[in-house]
Amino acid sequence: MSEPEYCDLCDLPRSTCIHGNPPPPPPPAASRASTPRATPVTRRKVAPTSEPARAVPRKWTPPDAFRLVILEVLGEHGGSLDQDDLFEALETAMGERLTTADHDKTPEGELRWRYAARRARQALVSEGVMTKGQPGVWSLA
């Protein structure tokens, strides 16, 4: 029996050494069997309905509903009012328009309708109808 030859680089038999063996040949490419393709989906056009979209009842009053009422309350009180006094007058003026969900609190702990009123004020300030003025005081421009 002849002694197996050993690699000079890794001291393994040449039959198991990566240095003495050429790389293995690449595997043969798998032939693709022709499979029937799915037929494309054709979508039907839906004719527009003549009925208007059904109005979804809101859980709470949107900020836009407060804008005119805020301006009316400020106008009745000389154009400027403390925030707490304004909220009391606003709650009275809005009356039945506030839903039960408006009296729930936001995750921050504020009443939802007060949050909506503050958002309405921000919109009025950005339009130039109201001024920022002093903290806690809402006033017309």
Is 10 a member of any domain? no
Contact 129, 138 (CB under 8 A): no
**pLDDT in the model for residue 40:** 74
- What is d(CA 83, CA 77) in angstroms, rounded to the nearest whole number? 12
**What is the domain extent for residue 89?**
64-140
**pLDDT in the model for residue 1:** 52
Contact 140, 80 (CB under 8 A): yes
Is 105 a member of any domain? yes
Is 51 a member of any domain? no
Q: CATH number, domain at 87?
A: 1.10.10
pLDDT in tens, the chain (141 residues): 566 677 878 888 777 777 766 677 788 877 776 666 777 777 777 766 666 667 767 788 899 999 999 999 999 999 999 999 999 999 999 888 888 898 999 999 999 999 999 999 999 999 999 998 889 999 998
Is 123 a member of any domain? yes
Give, in order, the Cα–Cα distances in Å from 87 to each of 47, 59, 64, 70, 82. Answer: 48, 20, 16, 9, 9
Question: How many domains does one find in the chain?
Answer: 1
